[in-house]
Amino acid sequence: MLTLNIVCVGGLREEYFRAASSEYEKRLNAMCKLTVCELPAVNLPQEPSDAQIAAALEKESGLIKKKLLPNAVTYALCIEGKQRSSEVLAKELESSAVFGKSAFNFIIGSSYGLSPRIKSAADVKMSMSEMTFPHRLARIMLLEQLYRALSINSGGKYHK
């Protein structure tokens, strides 16, 4: 059975985001072992300097590292990552599992992203889109795509 560990910096404040997350978590839990770990974002001033942002990302990276599963394939969601189709993501998960890697970490940083240390340590850098989306929506999009990937791999009818 696959193990999916999603580590997110920042919470879902809006009820509609929490409801969507809960729905996909419920669906995924029927197909895999899922953990969603929500970490607090470092508080920054209204207009932080580059140095303040870098320090916050570095502090967040320490919290993230503590929540990562060892010996898992780690995906960092970041803008410089490679985009994938749903089918390609499904194949990556399936192929890794066939070769003995059935645990996956997916990291979603704060609205300022991820530290260079986290990105360089990741096995895979993945971008959701060239478009800009609200940071909190990234979690919902990732959960939906993971559900879609597992549905594809199980031969389900969700993916058309």
Residue with tokens 């530290």: 115
Task: Provide the percentage of residues in the chain whose pLDDT is more than 90.
Answer: 91
pLDDT for the residue 157: 83
Q: Is the pLDDT of residue 160 over 70?
A: no
Instruction: Read off the pLDDT band of 24 (50, 70, 90).
Output: very high
Backbone angles phi, psi at 67, to 5 degrees: -100, -5
Looking at residue 122, its pLDDT comes to 98
108 closest CA partner among 43, 32, 12: 12
pLDDT value at residue 9: 97
Domain spans, the chain? 3-154
Model confidence at 8, pLDDT cuts 50, 70, 90, reads very high
Strand order across the 3-9 sheet:
33-39, 3-9, 103-108, 73-83, 124-127
Percentage above 70 pLDDT, the chain: 99
Those residues whose C-beta lies under 8 Å from the C-beta of residue 155, and which sit 6 or more positions away, are none
> What pLDDT score was predicted for residue 134?
87
Domain 3-154 fold is Alpha/beta knot (3.40.1280)
β-strands 73-83, 103-108: how paired? parallel
Task: Scan for tokens 């990552």, then name that residue.
Answer: 81
pLDDT digits 0-9 by tens, 82-102: 999 999 999 999 999 889 899
Q: What is the mean pLDDT of residues 101-124?
A: 97
